[in-house]
Structure 1
């Protein structure tokens, strides 16, 4: 039963469900009620079963008319809800790969579903991010971690106190699976690594920490052929040259 009391699984003698008949007769109000009801069932199922939820259970409700990208409280989608409720990495992967869940949908706080695992510091997802299998969600997680590491280093300055916080965050992101030698691509920083970026505007202590503890390849070059030490020279960071070379 859904929240309004209609049996959405009932099939008539023509093989049509209640929702199917509502669509055939273009009964928009009934369609809205039925879809809301089955969406509510899916929400409750995710919250109740959490890590025990199976793809088959989700698929059954989707066949009954549940919308995988329906917005619920706070503009969360079911993928947001699944991650918050400790859904397994395999089921998250099924949501994206098999059920077509939108991994870029943002809630009212501006978070995409895949960012939720970082916020909730979920160990099983951190392990999943390091899995060598070429799974859709693993790559999305990796991309998000790399982007966050880049954004973290963009905050670096010559201010030692501020950089101490950046070091803590960078170390955490690397432990989660961010790649220290990942080449960022945009108009201004084509194939720069975070070490290139740090050499542009930060201080010696941060560069030394990155090199000694996070082990970046300090000979890796940008699209223009510049190693990190060349970036330091270009932007007048002469004190960094001896550390980054």
Structure 2
């Protein structure tokens, strides 16, 4: 009998059952990263403008870093070049293969961040676009990951879809997502909702991401917001 058919008797079983409502994301992301020449901003070897501003402004100092949903390694590579000891994880084997070519000094892990063999504590957990692709019940797993792996005084830096922006994620209530059984490309959050999810952390800033022109050395898009949070 498969896991989906077993009676639910604990939180992990409930989470796995709810996972069955939404399609597995790995095939999509493998296809997404197959063509390296596509004119997609995420493909460019550019770090997020927010990450660069935190480093240049002294809000973040080198230490151990974990890049969640690292894709082809653009931010992981920048963290390593800035003096961080970096682990990075992504579901897509295609993305990880590309990332290993780009930044061989980073320890890349292919698979689910919630079950990957990661050993904290990390001074920085960086997330550019992973969180907003999680179904609501996996926020529980995400917060547990932060609790297990983020060092006291460490930072979570995140970028995700912002509510009310064009080309952004869905703003449907959580219950409606389960009724429809789709994530519609990702979830959009208001700044207050982002603060509420990470209420156990101290917000340093939550702001719109600064859009960048094509010739900029950093990436920025106005349908995203960024947040920097510190563990107490």
Normalising by the smaller structure, the TM-score range is: under 0.3
Query: Which structure dedicates a bigger proportion of its chain to strand?
Result: 2
Give the number of the structure with larger relative contact order, counting CA–CA contacts within 8 Å between residues 6 or more apart: 2
* Alignment TM-score, normalising by the size of structure 2: 0.25
Q: TM-score scaled by structure 1?
A: 0.24
Larger radius of gyration: 1
